[in-house]
Structure 1
Amino acid sequence: MKDYQRHKLSVAPMLDWTDRHCRYFHRLLSRHALLYSEMVVAEAVIHGDRSRLLGFDPAEQPVALQIGGSDPAKVAIAARAGEEFGYGEVNLNVGCPSDRVQSGTFGACLMREPQRVADCVAAMKDAVAIPVTVKCRIGVDDQDPEEALDTLADAVVAAGVDALWVHARKAWLQGLSPKENRDIPPLDYDRVYRLKARLPNLYVGINGGIKSLDEAEAHLAHVDGVMIGRTAYQEPEILASVDRRFHGDDRPDAEPRAIIEAMLPYIEAQLAAGTPVSYMARHMLGLYHGRPGARRFRQILTVEGASRSAGVEVFHRAMDTVEEIAATVAAA
């Protein structure tokens, strides 16, 4: 656990959100936050285009690969491929409640099969030298969270897991959509705290409904790490304070304009490779959240960035517009 202990805050793996462009952008906001890929299905890694599925910029480090699967041999192959591509960690998804994941017998439904999860962890540990971690729920459907989480944790600890990230809600696989499963089941942070108290030598990270660094700091009195999801994506400027607050970095928090200007060389390189502006811009929409001009900033990036001919001038125009609005507000 000692080497992994440096990870105090991470950005959750989020399907269709935390792609390589998002992670590059987030890394400009924080040098130290642990970043995660979207979930990549083991079968896809085995049979698909690995460069497309696993490729990332080395500047994103530290970055972890999240794998979806339930066959020990297959997740081991995917883990080995992730290590070969340079990921610093492989994480097994035992928390996603989507129908597609359930039909593949992985994700949150694996909470019912702790030994299978342990077998997957053991196979991944045999395949790679980097940390192997699990992200899970506190239970599913009618499971008792006390028993379900303890049973899973004990099984993966016996298999050699390096860390357990726990989304502090149940997943209701019957009756709730994946979107509803992110909000409706009640949060039970105390359940995760009890797990950490019972297993002091296991790195335990907490996830679910955490919306500020003040909340993150409060959780760190009880657990080893905090994982922030939608708030980090929708209000990315929150990440600009992570290094100073949790890692002793004395650099001032970066301002939005400086972040965008640092992102422009990456955007230009991606444009030259044929990537549309919108693929990058969509991750940056929340950068001015709560500031004058934020709505206009989003409009410019969304509307003008959708054009096939759009280039970096869209970002310059958006930044200049925000500054004009801010100056008008300040002068009023």
Structure 2
Amino acid sequence: MSEFSPWRFSTAPMMEWSTPATRWLWRQLTQHTLLYTEMVTTGALLNGDQNRFLDFDAAEHPVALQLGGSNPAELAQCAKIGQNWGYDEINLNVGCPSDRVQKGMIGAALMAHSELVKDGMKAMLDAVDIPVTIKHRIGIDDHDSYEFMRDFVGTVAESGCKVFIVHARKAILKGLSPKENREIPPLQYDKVIQLKQDFPDLTIVINGGIKTLDESQHLLDQGLDGVMLGRAAYQDIMVLSEVDQRIFGDSRPTISGHELVERYCHDYIAKQPGPLRHSAKHLMGLFHGVPGGRKFRRYLSENIHKDDADIQVILDALALVAK
């Protein structure tokens, strides 16, 4: 195993993208990257189908469960469920800006309630033996000064939380969609770097707008403890193919896109119930810039929705791609 921090490199919790299928794909490319689930709300977990929300393949380890909620007792209960399910970490979402989660006092809106967040984090830390971490923005609406974020982190750290994952954009809670909140507020990496300088004993991980391993390494060189890759890891899956070698110094051989697809078909999809499209759609982020890559994606998009589609559809698409 690597001597580096478990948070040195991770993939972000992304709704409809950080699914068990995607996480399985990512794990084939990198053994050291920490993988986060989609956000699961405490209400869904306590009142819904826990198998649906929590089941994952053992191959995904290390994998962290992200929770959305604000009631300390419910968060503690869900954290314990997550630990018992086998997750390696529990993470609290204090970054999602959608109207729906705001109404439930979930996500970025909680940055205005640092004492409540502190209480929730302490309740979870007291309930489990695995790490409990937080993912938040650099600010919300007009509360966007560095001092606001610094004081938020200082308050939450009183809970005993040691790991802060910071999306380096503020969230605008009224007037912007979640998608716009990932693109319009400017990135301010300098604030996250300053946060690490002010809290040297905390683990500070940066997220937001990072697309390449070169960018990732540059941010690590600024003194940050970790980098979390979001949309780039889904839209261009092979960006993760050299993470273990370049970020963790591992000498293991890389695998090709062809080998990844073949493994996915035979070792994962073949064992999954339900229509092919549910698993095959996660392959659309492959073979960018590779001869035949566009044909591969077009063939999939035209055929995976057919009633009789099976893994042969994917293998036929793969035959269109140059090796």
Place the TM-score, normalised by the shorter chain, in its bin: over 0.9
Find the aligned partners of 1:74 and 1:232 in 2 and give their Cα distance: 31
Amino acid at match of 1:98: S
1:4 offset after TM fit, Å? Answer: 8.2
Structure 2 alignment gaps of length 5 or more? none
Amino acid at match of 1:120: G
Is 1:237 equivalent to 2:245 in the alignment?
A: no
| Maintained 8 Å contact 1:233/1:286 | yes
Q: Map 1:99-248 onto structure 2 (within 5 A).
A: 99-221=99-221, 222-248=223-249
TM-score by length of 1: 0.94
How far does the alpha carbon of each residue in 1:22-68 deviate from its partner, in whole angstroms, 9 at most, with x for none?
11111111111110100000011111111111110110011000000
Which of 266, 269, 272 aligns to 1:267? It is 269
Is 1:67 equivalent to 2:67 in the alignment?
A: yes
Change (3 A) 1:225 1:165: same
| Maintained 8 Å contact 2:7/2:205 | no
| Maintained 8 Å contact 1:13/1:38 | yes
SS at match of 1:220: helix
Find the aligned partners of 2:181 and 2:73 in 1 and give their Cα distance: 30
Structure 1 alignment gaps of length 5 or more? 327-332
1:78 offset after TM fit, Å? Answer: 0.9
Aligned to 1:302: 301
How far does the alpha carbon of each residue in 1:187-239 deviate from its partner, in whole angstroms, 9 at most, with x for none?
10000000000101100000000011000000002200001101110000000
Find the aligned partners of 2:319 and 2:143 in 1 and give their Cα distance: 53
Find the aligned partners of 1:289 and 1:120 in 2 and give their Cα distance: 42
Which structure has greater helix proportion? Answer: 1
Aligned to 2:38: 38
Is 1:80 equivalent to 2:85 in the alignment?
A: no
Find the aligned partners of 1:145 and 1:89 in 2 and give their Cα distance: 30
Find the aligned partners of 1:77 and 1:48 in 2 and give their Cα distance: 14
Find the aligned partners of 1:33 and 1:20 in 2 and give their Cα distance: 15
Structure 1 runs of 4+ aligned residues shifted over 4 Å read none
Find the aligned partners of 1:252 and 1:4 in 2 and give their Cα distance: 19
Find the aligned partners of 2:7 and 2:102 in 1 and give their Cα distance: 30
Aligned to 1:277: 276
Change (3 A) 1:118 1:224: same
RMSD: 1.4
TM-score by length of 2: 0.96
Find the aligned partners of 1:6 and 1:107 in 2 and give their Cα distance: 24
How far does the alpha carbon of each residue in 1:139-196 deviate from its partner, in whole angstroms, 9 at most, with x for none?
0000033122112211121101131000001000112111110000011000000000
